[in-house]
């Protein structure tokens, strides 16, 4: 097939985006909808999810908002079963996640349990609930949001780095087990991305020094700035489109040169 401007479109596809109510998840949902997909936006905050669904509706797209705590397997399975009863799902984007600051000494057991419960078990719960449906329908795409923290050493990110390293390994495992069922599984590893989470983090931890610390964090990337959610969404769109049909079992850094250009 010759290349065309429509190569990355998702017409006729239905996608589930977890944590789709804000930040990168919101950008992915909007990007997918703008390229023809129908969306189910899952978020622990239903109001945020509904706000994104309303944006999509105003642009002429199709979207539903669903409250879901992905760390709760029973609730997650119920949500997916309800979705499957109405129609098929073609794409799962595992994006819901939390962050945590601290090294191994300062990370409490409760903090460690919480970040694994959301960032690792949450992804497992969604894949566990969805992959049989994808397999039965002849295939589909799973995209996991990881992080450069999963493959590089970052100061005071012990729990977060551990969780994202697990996501990368999970991606490889699922890709291997389901490649024969036409289910592709990849992950994206962003460096710092400018989201409302970052602004909230700076306001909470560096009151009065937000601008200074924002610049410092921006310079962590050799390219000299943070990524934008829409840039992450563009890579997600490609990996979930048929244009990426030959790609599975890959961790894609999108990091402004962070992993390879230091020094």
- Cβ neighbors of 75 (< 8 A, separation 6 or more) are 68, 69
The answer on 218 and 147 residing in a single domain is no
Task: Say whether both 215 and 238 belong to one domain.
Answer: no
Residue pLDDT, tens place only, 146-170: 999 999 999 999 999 999 999 999 9
Confidence band, pLDDT 50/70/90 cuts, at residue 1: very low
Say whether both 112 and 214 belong to one domain.
no
What pLDDT is attached to residue 112?
Answer: 98
In this predicted structure, what is the pLDDT of residue 86? 86
* Angstrom distance (rounded) from CA 1 to CA 243: 10
Answer yes or no: do 245 and 202 share one domain: no
Measured CA angle at 203 (ends 166, 98), to 5 deg: 20
Domain match, 34 and 74 both: yes
119 occurs within a structural domain: yes
For 75-84, the pLDDT digits (tens) are 999 999 999 9
Q: What are phi and psi of 116, to 5 degrees?
A: -70, -35
Q: What is the pLDDT of residues 53-104, one digit of tens each?
A: 999 999 999 999 999 999 999 999 999 999 999 899 999 999 999 998 999 9
Q: Is residue 1 part of a domain?
A: no
The answer to the question of residue 8 being in a domain is no
For residue range 108-152, list pLDDT tens digits in order.
999 999 999 999 999 999 999 999 999 999 999 999 999 999 999
**Same structural domain, 85 and 145:** yes
CATH code, 120: 3.40.50.720
Nearest-CA neighbor of 160 among 216, 215, 201?
201
124 is catalytic: no
- The arithmetic mean of pLDDT across residues 27-55, rounded, is 98
Q: How many domains does the chain have?
A: 2
User: 3 pLDDT band (50/70/90 cuts)?
Assistant: low
244 shares a domain with 199: no
Does residue 261 or residue 127 have the better pLDDT? 127
The stretch 226-244 carries a mean pLDDT of: 97
| pLDDT number for residue 73 | 98
Q: How far is residue 247's CA from residue 188's CA, in Å, rounded to a whole number?
A: 13
Residues 73, 128 within the same domain: yes
Q: What mean pLDDT do residues 22-29 have?
A: 97
Note whether 148 and 44 are same-domain residues: yes
Residues 64 and 174 in one domain: yes
Range of the domain at 212: 194-226
Residue 51 in this model has a pLDDT that exceeds 70: yes
Tokens 């289910």 belong to residue: 183
E strands in the chain? 14-18, 38-43, 63-67, 91-94, 140-145, 183-190, 251-254
Tell me if 185 is assigned to some domain: yes
The reported pLDDT for the residue numbered 197 is 82
213 and 102 both lie in a single domain: no
Query: Is the model's pLDDT at 2 over the cut of 60?
Result: no
pTM: 0.95
Catalytic residue among 123, 124, 160, 178: 160
Please check whether residues 96 and 177 belong to one and the same domain.
Answer: yes
- Summarize the confidence of residues 257-262 as an average pLDDT: 87
Mean of pLDDT over the chain: 95
């Amino acid at each position: 097939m010759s290349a065309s401007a429509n190569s990355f479109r998702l017409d006729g596809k239905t996608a589930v985006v977890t944590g789709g109510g804000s930040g990168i998840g919101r950008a992915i949902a909007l990007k997918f909808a703008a390229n023809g997909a129908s969306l189910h936006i899952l978020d622990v905050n239903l109001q945020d999810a509904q706000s994104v669904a309303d944006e999509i509706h105003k642009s002429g797209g199709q979207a539903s908002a669903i409250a879901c705590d992905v760390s709760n397997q029973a609730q997650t399975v119920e949500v997916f079963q309800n979705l499957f009863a109405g129609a098929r799902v073609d794409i799962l984007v595992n994006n819901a996640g939390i962050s945590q600051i601290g090294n191994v000494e300062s990370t409490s057991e409760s903090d460690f349990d919480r970040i694994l419960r959301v960032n690792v078990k949450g992804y497992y719960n969604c894949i566990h609930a969805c992959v049989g449906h994808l397999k039965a329908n002849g295939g589909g795409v799973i995209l996991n949001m990881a992080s450069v923290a999963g493959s590089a050493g970052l100061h005071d990110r012990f729990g977060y780095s551990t969780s994202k390293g697990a996501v990368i390994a999970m991606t490889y495992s699922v890709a291997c087990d389901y490649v024969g069922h036409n289910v592709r599984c990849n992950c994206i590893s962003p460096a710092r991305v400018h989201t409302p989470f970052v602004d909230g983090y700076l306001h909470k931890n560096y009151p009065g020094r937000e601008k200074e610390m924002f610049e410092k964090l921006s310079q962590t990337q050799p390219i000299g700035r943070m990524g934008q959610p829409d840039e992450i969404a563009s890579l997600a769109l490609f990996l979930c489109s048929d244009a990426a049909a030959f790609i599975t079992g890959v961790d894609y850094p999108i990091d402004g040169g962070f992993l390879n250009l230091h020094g």
